[in-house]
Structure 1
């Protein structure tokens, strides 16, 4: 039987990434503790969305911190998934993580810019702003959920392939539920522009993540 050596992931820089995430969360709580408390209860109540959705709250410093935590945490989960699923031709090191985080950030920014351009062209700025805040807030919360899972997988027990696959499927389902709920709220607008809505789904909700997958792999 041929012995195949596997690289052991260094936890030094991962520890720094996690400390940065925790420091960012502490900063967000320090900036606005009431708003942070509403945010961490997002799956129990939509009070955070109702109170903060209006007034271009997406571009605030508080929300920017949560977006950064999302990018760092989700990128780390993708990085760990690549290691567990043993994708070929991937060197498991800091360079791979930086590549994932950079691509994730690039696609994230491009999506927002394109959506804002579309909103300006079709004069639906308020609708798109509310939609973006709703969607990004829930994805920020998913990034928060992944943080303790990343800690568990790195320092306690390395997950099996089936665990990672189940988690990925669960995250996809949660994302679909969030998108479906916001689409249902704007059902009349969508039905009146069904063709453009289908194009939007394909171009901005499906294609970017497929591109991210292809660029990483």
Structure 2
């Protein structure tokens, strides 16, 4: 009953977005239940990524587009809620959320295009393909977990700090996991990996921080 009252009192647009995300999961299951399972449990069972046919993955198919938008939308919601809880002035909720969504969407799209383009430029596409795919799978798995955490925090009375600490832990665990799983590639190309971390992981975060705050 308390959860129902909470939904009624809360911003309707957040409820609509959460419902949209739930329907996205249903659609992903209809499109390919096996791939949905592989993406959801990637954080807990790396063999699911290893067993998937990475050569046959098309980043522009319907499944990939939906799961990518799901991840961006979830991360945007969490970022919006974090800023709201921290007292950052937000004049219009949905307008502010839309700005965050666009910033994150552009960030991930541009980052992905640059990674893909540079892998072609340096003729290392095949060598780094599995690394890039595993990194994406971890992000999708992380987004599913954060979606569940967000719903619990908003409608089940769980403290928002739980979602924020979980997000921090998962992002660190994601970096450690895909680094360990690809250690042979990383050590053989250590100089390029350090450049990658600085150019594509650290620097963009500073830019995002400036844009959002």
TM-score by length of 2: 0.85
Deviations 1:116-138, CA, capped at 9 Å, x for gaps? 11100111112332222111111
Residue 87 (structure 2) pairs with residue 86 (structure 1): yes
Structure 2: runs of 5 or more not aligned: 1-8
The DSSP-based 3-state class of the residue aligned with 1:44 is: coil
The alpha-carbon deviation at position 10 of structure 1 amounts to 4.9
> Alpha carbons of 1:201 and 1:71: their partners in 2 closer, same or farther (altered >3 Å)?
same
Q: CA RMSD in A?
A: 2.2
User: Which residue does 1:157 correspond to in 2?
Assistant: 157
Contact 2:75-2:143 within 8 A present in 1 as well: yes
* Superposition pairs of residues 173-192 of structure 1, within 5 angstroms: 173-192=169-188
TM-score by length of 1: 0.83
* Superposition pairs of residues 33-112 of structure 1, within 5 angstroms: 33-52=33-52, 54-57=54-57, 59=59, 60-87=61-88, 89-91=89-91, 93-112=93-112
User: Which residue does 1:146 correspond to in 2?
Assistant: 146
User: Which residue does 2:192 correspond to in 1?
Assistant: 196
User: Which residue does 1:6 correspond to in 2?
Assistant: none
> Alpha carbons of 1:189 and 1:48: their partners in 2 closer, same or farther (altered >3 Å)?
closer
> Alpha carbons of 1:107 and 1:26: their partners in 2 closer, same or farther (altered >3 Å)?
same
Tell me, in whole angstroms, the C-alpha distance in 1 between the residues paired with 2:148 and 2:171: 19
The alpha-carbon deviation at position 53 of structure 1 amounts to 5.0
The alpha-carbon deviation at position 52 of structure 1 amounts to 2.3
Tell me, in whole angstroms, the C-alpha distance in 1 between the residues paired with 2:53 and 2:164: 28
Tell me, in whole angstroms, the C-alpha distance in 2 between the residues paired with 1:201 and 1:170: 22
Q: How many residues align?
A: 204
The alpha-carbon deviation at position 152 of structure 1 amounts to 2.4
Tell me, in whole angstroms, the C-alpha distance in 2 between the residues paired with 1:38 and 1:131: 16
Tell me, in whole angstroms, the C-alpha distance in 2 between the residues paired with 1:156 and 1:45: 28
User: Which residue does 2:119 correspond to in 1?
Assistant: 119
Contact 1:73-1:146 within 8 A present in 2 as well: yes
Residue 211 (structure 2) pairs with residue 210 (structure 1): no
The DSSP-based 3-state class of the residue aligned with 1:112 is: helix
